[in-house]
A = this chain, B = another copy of it.
Amino acid sequence: MILHDCTTAPSPRRVRMFMAEKGIQIENRQVDLSAGEQFSAEYKKLNPLSEVPLLELDDGTCITQINAICRYLEELHPEHPLFGRTPIERALVESADHQLSSNGLMAVAEAFRNTTPGFKNRAMPGPHDYEQIPALTARGLLRLDNLMHDLNSHFANSQFVVGDYFSVADITGFITIDFARWVKKFIPEDHTDLQRWYDEVKSRPSAKA
């Protein structure tokens, strides 16, 4: 099994942090996104979407998308589950993780890609080119303000994203906060509950992945 990865990108870090939490080791192959290696004919044979991360199985099957990769790894290594321990908890984790992906990671990505010169005509990842829409940068920054405010309220009454259970949703949220620095958004000083949660997750060894 090979994980096609790029250590400087936030998306594959979600998989690496997941693996670190579970003690999973997989052969790692770096794809140099800054050099455009994801668009090479060789890589496109593995992933026509030109995206990382990608999990290449021994039989040649290639799995794209972070949660698809992590869920597959959780099936191979069911101990210390990160997608939930009961049907209800699994549903709450899935729901929260989806929220944090679409309102957190996607908001940073929109803010970042729609005005950064290097992403001219590449405002969205994937095989198709799309022009930048600068208004999405402004909206992305506003969405991050709202998200941090909502998370701060949430963590006033909850240790982790879903109760006292550390899950993939905490990984997604934590990486969102780190990724937000790319667009110069930081946890506001008065968001002490969000900061408490962030520091707690950052203290886990997996946060270095």
Contacts and interface: CB of A to CB of B under 8 A. Distances in A.
Contact of A94 (B57, B68, B126, B133): B68
A98 interface: yes
A67 interface: yes
Contacts of A135: 133, 135
Q: How many copies does the complex hold?
A: 2
A121 interface: no
A195 interface: no
A174 B139 CA distance: 30
Interface in A4-60: 49, 57
B63 A90 contact: no
A129 B57 CA distance: 43
A72 B87 contact: yes
A63 B92 contact: yes
Contacts of A49: 99
A69 interface: yes
A61 interface: yes
A91 interface: yes
A69 B57 contact: no
A69 B131 CA distance: 35
Contacts of A91: 63, 68-69, 71-72
Nearest to A130: B139
Interface in A135-174: 135-136, 139, 142-143, 146, 150
Given A64-B95, A71-B94, 5 more contacts: A63-B88, A72-B87, A72-B88, A131-B139, A133-B133
